[in-house]
A and B are shown apart, each in its own frame.
Chain A
Amino acid sequence: MGVEGIGARVARKEDKRFLTGKGRYTDDMSVPGMKYACFVRSPHAHAKILSIDVSAAKVMPGVIDVLDGHQLQADGIGNLICGWMIHSKDGSPMKMGAWRPLAYETVRYVGDAIAIVVADSSGQARDAAEAVVIEFDELPAVTEALTALEGGSPQIHPEAPGNLIFDWQIGEADATDKAIASAAHVTEIEIRNNRLSPNPMEPRATLGIYDASEDHYTCYTTSQNPHVARLVMSAFYNVAPENKLRVIAPDVGGGFGSKIYIYPEEIVCLWASKKTGVPVKWTSDRTEAFLTDAHGRDHVSQVKMAFDANNRITALKVDTVANLGAYMSLFSSAVPTYLYATLLSGQYAIPAIHANVRTVYTNTVPVDAYRGAGRPEATYLLERTMETAARELGVSPAELRRVNFIRSFPYQTPVIMNYDAGDYEASLNAAMQAADWAGFETRRAAAAAKGMKRGIGMSCYIEACGIAPSAAVGSLGAGVGLWESAEVRVNAVGTIEVLTGSHSHGQGHETTFAQLVAGRLGVPLDSINIVHGDTDKVQMGMGTYGSRSGAVGMSAVVKALDKVEAKAKKIAAHLMEADEQDIVIENGELKIAGTDKTLPWFQVALAAYTAHNLPAGMEPGLKETAFYDPSNFTFPAGCYIAEVEIDPETGKTEIVQFVAADDFGNIINPMIVEGQVHGGLAQGIGQALLENVQYDRDTGQLLTASFMDYAMPRADDLPSFTLSHQNTPCPGNPLGIKGCGEAGAIGSPPALINAITDAIGHNRMTMPATPMKVWHALQATH
């Protein structure tokens, strides 16, 4: 470990600009002639559009133009797509209804975009948006997935009879049923995973710029994956060919999944810029974000877990219904299938697993990946079930987990995944020790003496990161490959630019990617710049989500660095008249091993560019590109323990300690990894205690449309966290790293609910465990 290399706790290179107000986010962008957009949105959850009258709006002060979906359609702009094909168990393809960027026939959720107003100021645009007159024929709405499946429910898309998108299964049904029939004990439970709004602090925004002289489009946008945005907008939405479209995702203020997708606004602002001849900027407000950003979770599952007489799990049967909202968002179909059911083995050796998943249309905003995406749902289901089973079987929760842990690797689960490495007991032991699990009953008694109810709960999670390999995901229905690209450009003076298709929106790539290079070459961190987020600069990339930037994005940098080093060694060997095999790179120098003959890094770089004295036939320059396609997922895992104290008079839960023990494989920058865990924990704790998207069941109106009603975790809701890391390096990638971005959000909710149900003395609790719900639950035991 060097001072600045892999493993070092380096302060972030990007911090100063954020701390001094010099960060540049999409809404900060301003170009000459820029105008402001406001979208006219549906006030109804479900309605036919009878007419759209923009005449009054068009003559409002400051208005440039008002455009609607008829014009968009006439210009050949395509519908939004879902990029992952899932087939139902009867072999039929998923039933995808049309999602128009601007609706003109039917609106299907409150917030569905209908028209765009472009005006001199955002206030004027909004004034005019209110003057657009739309005649609706209101239709009945349905917001809950189980209700939407019932006969007689409102039909949302003609393509999907009964609102069923697909009815999919994984695993062996017969073997699972047989094992359940002959089990010594079967734990049955209904699991609900509450619906969440991602809420990155930066609301979505986009600036569309059309240059008629070049017939060229530029799109500034709040995206986690600008290249995918360009690809999809070109190939499917017909906005512009890729060579005529530049997508820039500058500083992005958090994503958590919600900024993966290409939303109607990017498409419409680009198109509107061409129609109006002015650059068009749109910035979401928070209520618009609640109404239109893709939500997460929203599952209801029935679970049966079978045990033999020795408390070993013999089978798991899961029947899940997932609410996908009004339209199929970009990765929506993959989340409750391949990102969820494939993790249902958890950390346990389970001989038979069967999961059935039905996905359903409702009159709510589309649901897609949110931090963890499928894996929090799987973990919550499994770990609540394990806790329940331990209580039913009368064994300690740790003991039940220990007897069922997978202990040898690689391990093939019955649900596709092949776990490559792990030591689950190490994390369990570390967490229990850090939490002083053994001393809990004393603390419980002390709390009881002052009238408080203490509880403790654990959760052992596993997740799959760095979704891969491309050929495998392709065979499962993915519309894209899931590799990453990198380019390492050594300048003539030896400074280095690393271009990556990964995107940083808080993760600290500008530091960690540079640490990798600094460590490899021994050059100062300051001499390395990381370039990302611009399709005109970086050739191609798949972006950042699913904790893939380290395992996949940095592995691509490693491959490019290998090539750069190989060439640099050839040059150095030539210049020093040595054998290429004898050259080593250390401390910013190329050196003949075992001698004191060295060449500074910058001199080799200079030689590559002057090209005065290169090996025969060598091309000048020192710049290499690589694409890395992983051979497998990575499998971070760990154990979380929550200890809570409930005030029985108010039902308020205080987290008295939260312990996280994670195995992320090798770690590039422990400080940044810890930060990722902290943030994930806060979101998981938010799900468990505070956050819940609620629609009015009858009208389909969103009841939680601002921070007034949607409870975001604040500083005084949370404790400081106790973290530790265990390490079984990932054998599948050159750096041995697994990914850390989502673990906190995946592992924490069941730990909290297990602790709360332990404190209240019965198992009836759903998320979020609000003070009111906990208070009512406590009355039930009296």
Chain B
Amino acid sequence: MTTVTLTVNGRAVSGECEDRMLLVDFIRVKLGLTGTHVGCDTTQCGSCVIHMDGLSVKSCSILAVQASGSAITTIEGLSAQGEMHPVQAAFKEHHGLQCGFCTPGMVMTAVDMINRRGGSLTEEVVRTELEGNICRCTGYHNIVKAVLSADAEMAAGRQAAE
């Protein structure tokens, strides 16, 4: 058993776990943050995407002990209680989700994508950037629409702020 210390959604947390415990299991089981999901065993589906030190990563392929010391943002911490981040709002407006299972990973991916490449997204870029996230419900059509819409809105927001 090892003590893992993290900052999760802005709050310092620590917990004991086996060294083999995956970060996603630590988040789900130890912290009870069940918004982050597991959809495959081979680092492909992206249902488990979170942000670690500001970058999107697949929490199913990182040990909790490996992440110790880092700052984690999960879907639960993306927006204040009761509010929605512009990406979340765009997914709702454009029907970018159906069963909701891949959705937290998709949203965290979209936020990272906009953080890195915001303002320059095209349909082709978004589709390529979604390579690490599998959705079985939407055919991606409305996810792509939602990401492009959120990107445009956030870019407009940045411009207005300048």
Contacts and interface: CB of A to CB of B under 8 A. Distances in A.
A22 interface: yes
Contacts of B91: 15, 19
A744 B141 CA distance: 13
A206 interface: no
B100 to A, nearest CB: 3
Contacts of A22: 35, 76
Contact of B95 (A11, A30, A714): A11
Nearest to B22: A123
A129 interface: no
Contacts of B39: 201-203, 286
Contacts of B79: 20
Contact of B41 (A200, A254, A285, A716): A285
Interface string B12-52: 00000010110000001000111111111110110100000
Interface string A307-344: 00000000000000000000000000000000000000
Interface string B59-75: 00000000000000011
Contacts of B44: 706-708
A715 B88 CA distance: 19
B149 interface: no
Contact of A506 (B36, B128, B137): B137
A602 interface: no
Interface string A195-209: 000011111000000
A121 B28 CA distance: 13
Nearest to B108: A21
Contact of A15 (B41, B97, B123, B137): B97
Contacts of B99: 200-202, 251-254, 505-506
A254 B103 contact: no
Contacts of A718: 127, 139-141
A720 interface: yes
A12 interface: yes
Nearest to B76: A21
Contact of B127 (A21, A202, A683, A716): A716
A30 B28 CA distance: 11
B42 A286 contact: yes
**Interface SS of B by simple majority:** loop
A15 B101 contact: no
B2 interface: no
Contacts of A136: none
Interface in A674-728: 674-675, 678-683, 706-708, 712-716, 718, 720-721
Contact of A23 (B100, B140, B142): B100
A707 B34 contact: no
B136 A201 contact: yes
A361 B140 CA distance: 36
A28 interface: yes
B35 A201 contact: no
B104 A21 contact: yes
Given A21-B34, A254-B136, A707 B144 contact: no
Contacts of B28: 28
A715 B74 contact: no
Nearest to B40: A286
Interface residues of A, number: 58
A256 interface: yes
A720 B145 CA distance: 9
* Interface range on chain B (Cβ under 8 Å from partner): 35 or more
A11 B136 CA distance: 20
B149 to A, nearest CB: 13
A672 interface: yes
Listed residue (A252, A672, A682, A706) with the most chain B CB atoms within 10 angstroms of its CB: A682
A254 B131 contact: no
Given A200-B136, A201-B101, A19 B84 contact: yes
A234 to B, nearest CB: 28
B134 A19 contact: no
B36 A201 contact: no
Contacts of A286: 39-42, 45
Contacts of B136: 199-201, 254, 256, 679, 682-683, 712
A25 B34 CA distance: 9
A16 interface: yes
Contacts of B95: 11-12, 671-672, 674-675
B141 A721 contact: yes
Contacts of A253: 37, 99-102
Given A707-B134, A714-B134, A715-B131, A20 B76 contact: yes
B83 to A, nearest CB: 9
Contacts of B8: none
Contacts of B47: 201
Nearest to A23: B100
B114 interface: no
Contact of A678 (B78, B130, B131, B138): B138
Contacts of B36: 21
A288 B79 CA distance: 35
B143 interface: yes
B131 A20 contact: no
B4 interface: no
Contacts of A254: 98-99, 101, 136-137
Contacts of B21: 123
Contact of B141 (A17, A508, A672, A678): A678
Contacts of A598: none
Contacts of B102: 201, 253
A256 B139 CA distance: 14
Contacts of A14: 100
Nearest to B101: A253
Contact of A720 (B75, B92, B144): B144
B35 A712 contact: no
B27 to A, nearest CB: 10
Given A16-B84, A21-B36, A199-B136, A706 B41 contact: yes
B53 interface: no
A507 interface: yes
B99 to A, nearest CB: 3
Given A15-B97, A200-B136, A712-B136, A20 B141 contact: no
B103 A707 contact: no
Nearest to B39: A201
A27 B79 CA distance: 24
Given A254-B136, A716-B130, A18 B33 contact: no
A781 B83 CA distance: 59
A335 to B, nearest CB: 20
B70 to A, nearest CB: 19
B131 A716 contact: yes
B33 A21 contact: yes
A202 B101 contact: yes
24 contacts: A15-B91, A15-B92, A16-B92, A18-B97, A18-B104, A19-B91, A19-B104, A20-B76, A20-B79, A121-B18, A123-B20, A201-B137, A202-B37, A253-B99, A285-B41, A287-B41, A506-B137, A672-B95, A706-B40, A707-B134, A714-B133, A715-B127, A715-B144, A720-B123
Given A678-B140, A718-B139, 12 more contacts: A19-B103, A24-B34, A30-B32, A121-B18, A201-B136, A201-B137, A203-B39, A253-B37, A675-B138, A675-B141, A675-B142, A714-B134
Interface of A: 11-12, 14-25, 27-28, 30, 121, 123, 199-203, 251-254, 256, 285-287, 505-508, 671-672, 674-675, 678-683, 706-708, 712-716, 718, 720-721, 744
- The 3 A-B residue pairs with the shortest CB-CB distance, nearest first, are A21-B35, A18-B100, A253-B101
